[in-house]
Amino acid sequence: MDWYETSCTSIITLEKECWRECILKKKKLNEFLLFALFVFPAVAFVLFATDIPFVMNLYYSVFDWNGVGKSMTFVGLDNYVKIFTHDTLFWKGVTFTLKFAVFYVIIVNAISLTVAIVMSKETKTSSVGRAFYYVPYIISLTAISLIWKFIFGPGFEALYEVTGWEFFNWSWVGTPKLAFFVVVIMAVWQNVGFYMVNYIAGIIAVPKELIEAAKIDGANSLQVFKKITMPLIMPAVSICMLTSLTFAFKLFDIIMVFTKGGPANSTVTVAYNIYKEAFVNSKYGLATAKSLVFVVFVLIVTVIQLKVTKSKEVEA
């Protein structure tokens, strides 16, 4: 009888464990299905928007193709050879893009950080001031390009007639050196508000106790900013440096609407050069090869920039 009761108890216990395992497996399956339900659309979007086009670019870059016709001629690495040996306009675009990136990243971050320091102080007009700087960012670059096109054209002509200042009579868009700075001014003016918001968020997050302790120890405002605020807002600096660098490398709208690469191809960016190669010159294979070369170049520069800025981050 004892043997029978023991066997029954063991069977019941085994059945309970089996049911528990089944319930756990079912719960894990439900969790996985729920996870897949939310994650799959994002994964599918990344695949269709980035990964698959990237692989297709690799494929098209070894062909001579106009982007429309059915005939595609395999040329191997000839497109890449042309880029590095014969395509002077592409490298002129690379030079302009790098030059623009250096000027733009330094100027926009310096101005944004300065404005953020002022606007981070809670005053009655701080909200209005922040909105004033942020509004240009929500306007499309196409609209901004048209606005500045009017300013540097009929606008400056009218001001020259009124004031007689030679400054307003300069050929801002017709002179290569001036056209470069016009592009920089437009891009900086449009994006200052975005980086300002990021810097304000970083400045507000700095513990007030550290600042107060430093002031009690006799540190002035400059020393507090240099020794406490700046190291603690380095994550914000990293984000702003990365986003501004990305914007500089992919600059297209302003060039397309405002300068069209002129004068004398002095404001041609890499993105604009790739666009013209594909959709104006109908050399789609060469354009995809250029885009891949540029992607590798941007990745290298971005990794270096992130390592430099990340190494300077500290924790409070």
User: Does residue 230 fall inside a structural domain?
Assistant: yes
Q: Which of 131, 112, 307, 314 is nearest to 210 (CA)?
A: 314
Sheet strands (E) in 59-213: 63-64, 73-74
Both 29 and 174 in one domain: the answer is no
User: Does residue 70 fall inside a structural domain?
Assistant: no
Tokens representing 50 are 């980035």
Per-residue model confidence (pLDDT) at position 263: 83
Q: b/e string for 149-171 if b means 16 or more Cβ within 10 A?
A: beebeeebeeeeeeeeeeebeee
Tens of pLDDT, residues 112-128: 999 998 888 877 777 78
User: Does residue 219 fall inside a structural domain?
Assistant: yes
User: Does residue 71 fall inside a structural domain?
Assistant: no
Per-residue model confidence (pLDDT) at position 107: 95
Per-residue model confidence (pLDDT) at position 10: 58
Which pLDDT band holds residue 96 (cuts at 50, 70, 90)? very high
Contact 150, 182 (CB under 8 A): no
CATH number at residue 174: 1.10.3720.10
Tens of pLDDT, residues 201-216: 888 888 888 888 888 8
Across the chain, what does the average pLDDT equal? 84
Is the pLDDT at 109 greater than 90? The verdict is yes
User: Does residue 69 fall inside a structural domain?
Assistant: no
Per-residue model confidence (pLDDT) at position 262: 82
Both 281 and 221 in one domain: the answer is yes
Both 113 and 199 in one domain: the answer is yes
Average pLDDT on 39-62 reads: 83
> Rounded CA gap, 172 and 163, in Å?
17
Average pLDDT on 81-87 reads: 89
Tokens 């004892």 found at: 2
Both 190 and 288 in one domain: the answer is yes
User: Does residue 195 fall inside a structural domain?
Assistant: yes
Which pLDDT band holds residue 248 (cuts at 50, 70, 90)? very high
**Which of 1-5, 134-138, 147-151, 193-197 is the least confident region?**
1-5
Tens of pLDDT, residues 263-302: 888 899 999 999 999 888 889 899 999 999 998 888 898 8
Both 100 and 184 in one domain: the answer is yes
Domain extent, residue 210, equals: 78-310
Per-residue model confidence (pLDDT) at position 218: 81
Both 198 and 289 in one domain: the answer is yes
> Rounded CA gap, 188 and 193, in Å?
9
Is the pLDDT at 178 greater than 70? The verdict is yes
Both 227 and 262 in one domain: the answer is yes
Both 177 and 100 in one domain: the answer is yes
Contact 313, 233 (CB under 8 A): no
Both 91 and 239 in one domain: the answer is yes
Largest CA-CA distance found in the chain, in angstroms, rounded: 117
Both 56 and 88 in one domain: the answer is no
Which pLDDT band holds residue 111 (cuts at 50, 70, 90)? very high
> Rounded CA gap, 27 and 238, in Å?
41
Q: Which of 231, 200, 206 is nearest to 311 (CA)?
A: 231
pTM of the model: 0.82
Both 130 and 260 in one domain: the answer is yes
Per-residue model confidence (pLDDT) at position 23: 73
Both 52 and 82 in one domain: the answer is no
Is the pLDDT at 177 greater than 70? The verdict is yes
User: Does residue 66 fall inside a structural domain?
Assistant: no
Is the pLDDT at 18 greater than 80? The verdict is no
Domain count, the chain: 2
User: Does residue 199 fall inside a structural domain?
Assistant: yes
> Rounded CA gap, 112 and 251, in Å?
19
